[in-house]
Structure 1
Amino acid sequence: MSSSLSAVLRPLTRAVTYTRWLHLLIATVAGVLTGFLRSEALYSGAWVWLWYVVLPVPLLLLAALIPAVRRVEGLQAQLLLVPGPHGPEERATSGISTSPSASWRDRGRTAGWLLLRLTTGVALTALTVQLPFLSVAFARAAVGLRTHLRDLPSIDAPHWWYGLLVPLPLVVLLAVVVAAGSLTAAAARRLLGPSAAERLATLEARTERMLEHNRLAQELHDSIGHALTVTVVQAGAARAAGSAEFTDRALAAIEETGRQALDDLERALRLLREDAPRPADRPTLTDAARLLESARAAGSQVRAELSGPLDALPGPVSREGYRMVQEALTNVLRHAGPVPVSVRIAAADDALELDVRNPLPRTPAPRGAAGRGLRGIRERATLLGGEATTGPGDDGEWRVYARLPLGPGGAAPTSLKRRAPRACRESRGCFPASP
């Protein structure tokens, strides 16, 4: 019994009940203001409430044509109809849009909302005014006074039992307030909710954020992983060599690699700060010599072949190509050690080819040890509209090969954005797998 009573009384303890009440009372303002256009309507008894509903209709229909009205109504509905905190994240998940009208469908839904809010608001305002007076009439009749309150039936035969009816109008009023508030909030989500175009735009923005986070994770994995791999190999080689001269060279290479890794880390952190400009100094294939020297400093014999106009490559291709070569060299140092490596970077008119080869290690790498980095290479190639293959070849070498198109269907920045969501779904690298 107590739990049932608590459930009935709980809405009366919530602030949103009273903010919804206020929201509906505000809707009557338009009716009251236009009611002054017909002075006799103010003295026509209960019919005044009907005028408050009818007179503002033309003005509301005209207001619905203004795109900003939908935004104003959406903001007001979010603040007064939706319970809980009202921060940006909570408002974004409220189901109520704050975007201006972008189509005639949006304007039609806004008009329907304005008319519904006006009708409901005027009806609730009438009850808010009349029902408390009815309680007063019952109280007067309970103490033996005749009542002739305006717009209410007169009580010519007062009696004490009218006192039992005093709380009834107030209970009815509170029940109507709770029900009208809940129904209005549900109607707001339908009539002021995001349109199909807005939902699509929100989904695309969310997809872009997920792609950006995935790219940053891959950037950190490639750059920091490369730096740590080179550092470990250099430190181990210096300890095994027992040569002061080699140790000095190894320490210099570790210092330079660490400095580059710190620059990459700072660049990634700047991207995560919303108020910071996007850095434009990400390394490209024109900086490939830095990678090759790093691998040579780690003890590998690197034979490089660079051809074609690398400085004329599109930005996305050049930047992602750099990371792919970096990950391929990191994979060599991590799993094969300082072995001879062949690197070919060839830029042609229609495609960029990357080819990194090294002898297979004598001891096979543990299962899954190289999965993340090599999968990242394939993901980058897919996002750019190309393809990449990794694995042992028939000649006893491990090969990482990628071909990135440069034509109209290739890797221009706009094309990259357009192809990214599908590519991520295919490679399962940007989104969690569907349940």
Structure 2
Amino acid sequence: MSFSLSTVFRPLTRAVTYTRWLHQLIASVAGTLAGFVHGGTFRSTGMEVWLWIAVLPVPVLLAAALIPAVRRVEGLQAQLLLTPGPQGPEERAGTGISTSPSLSWRDRGRTAGWLLLRLAVGVPVSALTVQLPVLSFAFLQAAAGHRTHFRGLPAIDAPHGWYALLVPLPLVVLLAVAVWAGSLMAAAAGRLLGPSAAERLAVLEARTDRILEHNRLAQELHDSIGHALTVTVLQAGAARAAGSPEFTDRALAAVEETGRQALTDLERALRLLREDVPHPAARPVLADAERLLESARAAGSTVRAELSGPLAALPGPVSREGYRMVQEALTNVLRHAGPVPVSVRIAADADALELEVRNPMPASPAPAAVGRGLRGLRERAVLLGGKAVAGPDEDGEWRVHARLPLARLR
């Protein structure tokens, strides 16, 4: 095993050594305050004072551990002093130290154990921090030929020059104890102030929710941008083939409107991903379905629409996801079959919302039902407790049908 002086002295060059040392010294503050309240504490001699400092605050600390906010304060202090460095959300989570209030009696018990451990380690370290430098000074005085007798330390009645060899020894012991105690408290903080099972579950659920939200945003961007690009390509091709200034103007107006809506959706998704706005722009709902129909008509399709029921009163999740499902179905029509006649039915009643989009089958083979768009359409339906199917029907048309239950969402 290799050994070098740099290994020994490296802790002395690290800031964390001294912040942990400070953390241990702070632990004796409660005992010192209790000593002032308890008359006669500091009239004791030697180590009796430190014993009083270690014992007097125990009832107060046990009572403080019952307060939920104490665990949060101790966690913040431990993160700041025991694991110093960047303190962003990810770095704080990586320390393994929780900053949440106590949520259960188990949390309060662990907090009490932590406070008692801080006291049991901090008071001896504080005592050594005071006494050992004094002992080094006593050795220095003895080496200079002076008799010494400091409070709490044995007297040196026979001074001699060889005491100079002992001068650094107390300081070396103090530094070694401070480093060891700091490492001990950092390890104990992870166990006694670490996240409880409920907190770990909450963190996992929050992470899962973020992943699901990002996946949902990715699906929305796929639907919105894909629809806009499909309409734009079809409009550009039709305008070039028509050779009519009037038709070109209409096509450009449709491209402008579709592109503007896609940019709005893109900006809303990016703002959500950046998490810099508390109230992002509203997502489109089925009450805005006419916009999708006009977009398909502008792309050259003949759209026959049947909208019935209280669409404006639909629950938010169903209405928003229903809009995206109709958008995806129309996009697939334009992408794979071109500007063909389309039949759209959106019907809502007290029990369910039904969506149906039909179009003639293209001359080329029908798109595979495993594409990302259709897969996303089915996933949206399943998440809402419904079902979606897509494929040829008995009349030779391509049919997309979805049914989303409403009763459990009202």
**Distance verdict in 2 for CA 1:348–1:341, change over 3 Å:** same
The offset of 1:269, in angstroms, is 4.1
Equivalent residues in 2 for 1:283-294 (5 A)? 283-294=284-295
Confirm or deny that 1:18 pairs with 2:18.
yes
Contact 1:67 1:102 in 2 (8 A): yes
Structure 1 counterpart of 2:85, which letter?
G
Structure 1 counterpart of 2:52, which letter?
W
**Distance verdict in 2 for CA 1:167–1:2, change over 3 Å:** farther
> Please, what TM-score do these two structures have when normalized by structure 1?
0.87
Structure 1 counterpart of 2:210, which letter?
R
Q: How far apart are the structure 2 equivalents of 1:154 and 1:367?
A: 94
Confirm or deny that 1:258 pairs with 2:249.
no
Q: How far apart are the structure 1 equivalents of 2:43 and 2:391?
A: 87
Structure 1 counterpart of 2:404, which letter?
L
Partner of 1:135: 136
What's the CA shift string for 1:347-383, capped at 9, x where partnerless?
A: 2322112122223333347879x72222221221122
Q: How far apart are the structure 2 equivalents of 1:365 and 1:390?
A: 11
The offset of 1:346, in angstroms, is 2.1
Q: How far apart are the structure 2 equivalents of 1:282 and 1:184?
A: 50
Equivalent residues in 2 for 1:259-278 (5 A)? 259-272=260-273, 274-278=275-279
What's the CA shift string for 1:279-305, capped at 9, x where partnerless?
A: 464221122222112112111222323
Partner of 2:9: 9
Q: How far apart are the structure 1 equivalents of 2:137 and 2:371?
A: 79
Q: How far apart are the structure 1 equivalents of 2:400 and 2:366?
A: 16
Partner of 1:155: 156
The offset of 1:327, in angstroms, is 0.8
Confirm or deny that 1:118 pairs with 2:115.
no
Contact 2:35 2:41 in 1 (8 A): no
Equivalent residues in 2 for 1:290-309 (5 A)? 290-309=291-310
The offset of 1:247, in angstroms, is 1.8
What's the CA shift string for 1:156-198, capped at 9, x where partnerless?
A: 3444333222222111111111110111111112112222222
Partner of 2:67: 66
Partner of 1:322: 323
The offset of 1:219, in angstroms, is 2.1
Structure 1 counterpart of 2:250, which letter?
R
When the two structures are aligned, how many residues end up with a matched partner?
Answer: 409
Partner of 2:29: 29
Partner of 2:398: 398
The offset of 1:263, in angstroms, is 3.0
Structure 1 counterpart of 2:63, which letter?
L
Contact 1:34 1:52 in 2 (8 A): yes
Q: How far apart are the structure 2 equivalents of 1:349 and 1:87?
A: 48
Equivalent residues in 2 for 1:4-403 (5 A)? 4-36=4-36, 37-272=38-273, 274-279=275-280, 281-364=282-365, 371-393=371-393, 395-403=395-403
- Name structure 1 gaps, 5 residues minimum: 413-435
The farther-off stretch of 311-320 and 31-40 is 31-40
**Distance verdict in 2 for CA 1:205–1:168, change over 3 Å:** same
**Secondary structure in structure 1 of the residue aligned to 2:407:** coil
The farther-off stretch of 390-399 and 131-140 is 390-399
Structure 2 counterpart of 1:351, which letter?
A
Contact 1:35 1:42 in 2 (8 A): no
Contact 1:271 1:278 in 2 (8 A): no
Structure 1 counterpart of 2:47, which letter?
A
Q: How far apart are the structure 1 equivalents of 2:201 and 2:139?
A: 57
**Secondary structure in structure 2 of the residue aligned to 1:337:** coil
Contact 2:75 2:97 in 1 (8 A): yes
What's the CA shift string for 1:64-116, capped at 9, x where partnerless?
A: 12222222211111111113212343223322222222222222111111111
Contact 2:45 2:152 in 1 (8 A): no
The farther-off stretch of 358-367 and 327-336 is 358-367
Q: How far apart are the structure 1 equivalents of 2:41 and 2:89?
A: 47
Contact 1:34 1:56 in 2 (8 A): yes
Identical aligned residues as a percent: 80
**Secondary structure in structure 2 of the residue aligned to 1:45:** coil
Q: How far apart are the structure 2 equivalents of 1:287 and 1:45?
A: 82
Q: How far apart are the structure 2 equivalents of 1:128 and 1:83?
A: 22
**Secondary structure in structure 1 of the residue aligned to 2:307:** strand
- Name structure 2 gaps, 5 residues minimum: none
> Please, what TM-score do these two structures have when normalized by structure 2?
0.92
Q: How far apart are the structure 2 equivalents of 1:86 and 1:311?
A: 46
Q: How far apart are the structure 1 equivalents of 2:389 and 2:313?
A: 25
Contact 1:234 1:298 in 2 (8 A): yes
Contact 1:270 1:278 in 2 (8 A): no
**Distance verdict in 2 for CA 1:277–1:188, change over 3 Å:** closer
The alignment's C-alpha RMSD in Å is: 2.3
The offset of 1:135, in angstroms, is 1.7
**Secondary structure in structure 1 of the residue aligned to 2:115:** helix
Q: How far apart are the structure 2 equivalents of 1:51 and 1:64?
A: 21
**Distance verdict in 2 for CA 1:273–1:188, change over 3 Å:** same
**Distance verdict in 2 for CA 1:40–1:96, change over 3 Å:** closer
**Secondary structure in structure 1 of the residue aligned to 2:354:** strand
Structure 1 counterpart of 2:352, which letter?
A
